[in-house]
């Protein structure tokens, strides 16, 4: 108990823990508020912009209320983007001769008023043909922006096939958003398959954590067992294990990872298998550090006393050595989990991750975003949140690890 308290006294561990816990909490609570298949391809279009989408059909069908506001600046602005307004200013200043100070591109109603007063389609003096066409188009937009004509909704008479006017909508008519029956919220937009990115991200974070956890546990289990045996038994056993460990270290684990992943084959690669493959290549580091810790412990007198008391190898390893390195193993496990998540992302980026469209992982999301050129499109929502989540997980776990290190290694304590 005292140990846990001490651990939480470390500010680094606390910060890391808070970030990690917040992430976990979000991932597990979010589905309660936004249920729905995270991998359902909702949009026909790819890379939907983030936002709330309401059914146009429902809006047209629902009864509006009238708000006494004139066509808003927003409506005008949507017709006349900044570039057009600048062109209008150029026309008014250069050809009409208004003072540049009088023309304000941000005061759209005033600008439109000035334009209507001064624009003359027949005045072609000194204008290029392309410029004349530009101004004609702008004038059309201005007229459209000013147009407050009603929209008529007609339905098809099933018998006669004639259009029957059903309803008119005028420009001061509004509909309450929540009264529109069909709404879709895409807080982080849609991805290339038309999926809801946030839902997918939550699901992917869960899966990636799972992969990290499994990979971390596999790596720690192998590394710990081999490290304990190599360090404690020594001799030939140690030499053999050290040789294997070195073999795995000399060949970069990532290369082994790629080779195994590749040889397993596209179809067979499920999430669980990928996690195990990652774990299987990540153990040498744990093994080596556990081994050196055990070597420094195996000649201690408490181990000698256990031997003299007739205890066997297994009992000495589990009660005389393991508890002494437990805190260290926990730290190694945390790092292995963080590394596992990163490895999955890297592997999937290369197209060697889990081959599936049934689950999303952070790496797969990155892979899809790259394959379907989200970066080039400027669809930041398809990859940036993923990068942030990976970074936060890695950062928080490393912080926790440093915090633990400070508590367990008194030399580092500040």
What is the contact surface with another protein in residues (CB under 8 A)?
A: 299-302, 304-312, 319-320, 323-324
- The CB-of-300 to another protein minimum distance in angstroms stands at 6
- The CB-of-286 to another protein minimum distance in angstroms stands at 21
The CA-CA-CA angle for residues 210, 211, 216, to 5°, reads 100
Distance CA 235, CA 248 (A): 20
> Phi and psi (nearest 5°) for 66?
-100, 130
Nearer to another protein, 277 or 329 (CB): 329
- The CB-of-316 to another protein minimum distance in angstroms stands at 9
State the DSSP H helix or E strand holding residue 213, giving kind and residue range, or none if neither: helix 197-233
- The CB-of-322 to another protein minimum distance in angstroms stands at 9
β-pairing, 183-186 vs 151-156, is: unpaired
- The CB-of-233 to another protein minimum distance in angstroms stands at 12
Residue 10's nearest CA partner among 329, 340, 327 is: 327
Residues 298 and 321: beta-carbon distance below 8 Å: yes
Per-residue CA distances from 116 to 84, 111, 130, 206 (Å): 15, 9, 21, 59
Q: What is the DSSP string of 40-92?
A: ----SSSSPPSEEEE-HHHHHHSPPEE----S-HHHHHHHS-HHHHHHHHHHI
Nearer to another protein, 3 or 154 (CB): 3
Nearer to another protein, 318 or 357 (CB): 318
Nearer to another protein, 136 or 302 (CB): 302
Q: What is the DSSP string of 294-331?
A: HHHHHTSHHHHHHHHTT--HHHIIIIIIHHHHHHHHHH
Residues 225 and 234: beta-carbon distance below 8 Å: no
DSSP 150: P
- Tell me the β-bridge partners of 164: 155
Nearer to another protein, 265 or 312 (CB): 312
Nearer to another protein, 143 or 305 (CB): 305
- The CB-of-303 to another protein minimum distance in angstroms stands at 8
Nearer to another protein, 101 or 309 (CB): 309
- The CB-of-289 to another protein minimum distance in angstroms stands at 20
Per-residue CA distances from 2 to 59, 175, 413 (Å): 61, 60, 17
- The CB-of-23 to another protein minimum distance in angstroms stands at 33
Q: Each residue of 221-243: b (16+ CB within 10 Å) or e?
A: ebbbbbbbbbbbeeeeebeebbe
- The CB-of-326 to another protein minimum distance in angstroms stands at 9
Nearer to another protein, 5 or 74 (CB): 5
Nearer to another protein, 75 or 311 (CB): 311
- The CB-of-234 to another protein minimum distance in angstroms stands at 10
Per-residue CA distances from 114 to 95, 106, 119, 141, 391 (Å): 13, 13, 8, 15, 53
The dihedral sign for the CA sequence 215, 216, 217, 221: positive
Nearer to another protein, 299 or 411 (CB): 299
Nearer to another protein, 96 or 306 (CB): 306
- Tell me the β-bridge partners of 29: none
- The CB-of-295 to another protein minimum distance in angstroms stands at 13
């Amino acid at each position: 108990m005292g140990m846990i308290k001490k651990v939480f006294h470390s500010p680094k561990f606390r910060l890391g823990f808070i970030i990690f816990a917040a992430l976990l909490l979000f991932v597990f609570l979010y589905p309660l508020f936004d249920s729905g298949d995270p991998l359902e391809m909702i949009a026909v279009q790819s890379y939907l912009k983030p936002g709330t989408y309401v059914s146009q059909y429902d809006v047209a069908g629902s009864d509006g209320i009238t708000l006494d506001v004139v066509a808003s600046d927003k409506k005008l602005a949507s017709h006349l983007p900044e570039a057009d307004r600048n062109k209008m200013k150029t026309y008014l200043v250069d050809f009409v001769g208004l003072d540049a100070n009088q023309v304000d591109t941000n005061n759209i109603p005033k600008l439109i008023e000035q334009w209507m007063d001064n624009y003359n389609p027949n005045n072609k003096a000194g204008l290029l043909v392309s410029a004349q066409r530009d101004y004609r188009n702008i004038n059309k937009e201005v007229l459209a922006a000013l147009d407050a004509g009603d929209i008529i909704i007609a339905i098809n008479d099933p018998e006669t096939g004639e259009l029957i006017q059903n309803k008119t909508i005028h420009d001061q008519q509004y509909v309450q958003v929540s009264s529109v029956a069909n709404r879709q919220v895409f807080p982080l937009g849609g991805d290339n398959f038309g999926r809801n990115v946030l839902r997918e991200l939550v699901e992917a974070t869960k899966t990636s954590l799972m992969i990290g956890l499994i990979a971390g546990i596999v790596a720690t289990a192998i590394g710990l067992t081999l490290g304990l045996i190599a360090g404690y038994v020594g001799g030939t056993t140690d030499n053999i294990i050290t040789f294997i460990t070195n073999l795995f270290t000399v060949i970069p684990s990532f290369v082994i990872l790629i080779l195994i992943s590749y040889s397993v084959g596209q179809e067979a690669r499920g999430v669980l298998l990928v996690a195990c493959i990652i774990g299987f290549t990540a153990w040498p580091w744990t093994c080596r550090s556990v081994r050196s810790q055990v070597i420094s412990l195996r000649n201690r007198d408490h181990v000698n006393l256990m031997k003299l008391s007739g205890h066997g190898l297994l009992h000495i390893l589990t009660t005389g050595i393991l508890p002494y390195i437990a805190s260290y193993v926990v730290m190694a496990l945390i790092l292995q989990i963080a590394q596992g998540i990163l490895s999955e992302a890297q592997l999937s980026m290369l197209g060697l991750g889990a081959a599936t469209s049934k689950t999303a992982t952070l790496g797969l999301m990155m892979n899809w975003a790259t394959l379907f050129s989200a970066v080039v499109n400027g669809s930041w929502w398809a990859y940036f949140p993923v990068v942030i989540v990976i970074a936060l997980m890695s950062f928080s776990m490393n912080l926790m690890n440093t915090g633990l290190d400070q508590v367990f290694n008194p030399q580092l304590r500040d």
